[in-house]
Amino acid sequence: MDRKKFLKKGMASMAAIVAVPTILTSCDNDDNNNDNNPIACTISPAETAGPFPIKTPADLVRENILGNKTGIPLLIEFTIQNTNNNCAALEGAFVDIWQCDAKGNYSEYSGQLDGDFTSENFLRGRQTTDTNGKASFISIYPGWYPGRTPHLHVEVKSGSGASLLITQVSFPDDVSNTVYTSPQYNGAPDTTNADDDFVDTANLADSVSGNTIDGYTLKKIITVAG
């Protein structure tokens, strides 16, 4: 779907959020190359799917994963590359994403900071990569919970459904500290990227740009053996 048309259609669900990122309606010149983010053609680091892995991605095919949650807007742009083809774009792969809300809670599970969310499926979804290996999601900047740096969970699957990689994507500490001054969040996190046991420097987003008024855009290249 055309991005501008999609955003017009989805504005109602974004109304409670501070603002839609101003960069949603345009694409950067480096969308189809890695000139600004040169990386070796090696598989991205595999990470744990927990603590609250996605349950029903096939039923959650959607770009807007907000559900009923609010926070600082975040546009997530993944590029999936195939190490078996010199890191060329991988078309037709499924990209599943799940993350916590602004207060650190995941949908589809109970026993969390703010109660039982087993009947909800916010902040989870699936997209299929296009000819450029791109998949994007409209979300919010995730909150944090004790012992973990702010992060996204991602699984990439082949068109036949075989799991190619489960990984995580973390955020720059300085950006998170700025976001968490918003009253929608729980203040400064208790864990930085350097102190987190589940991510390393290769998990860090390639770029996170924007501000707390207009929102942020995260970009990340993920390489798999497709």
pLDDT digits (tens, 9 = 90+) for 161-193: 999 999 999 999 999 999 999 999 999 999 999
pLDDT at 54: 78
Do residues 104 and 186 make contact, with C-beta atoms less than 8 angstroms apart? yes
The domain segmentation of the chain, as residue ranges, is 60-151+170-226
Do residues 206 and 35 make contact, with C-beta atoms less than 8 angstroms apart? no
pTM: 0.84
Look up the CATH number of domain 60-151+170-226. Answer: 2.60.130.10
99 versus 22: the higher-pLDDT residue is: 99
DSSP letter string over 16-49? TSS---GGGG---TTTT--TTS---S-PPPP---
pLDDT cut 70: percent of the chain above it: 83
Task: State the pLDDT confidence band at 29, using cuts at 50, 70 and 90.
Answer: very low
DSSP letter string over 75-110? EEEEEEEEGGGTTEE-TT-EEEEE---TTS--TT--
Task: State the pLDDT confidence band at 110, using cuts at 50, 70 and 90.
Answer: very high
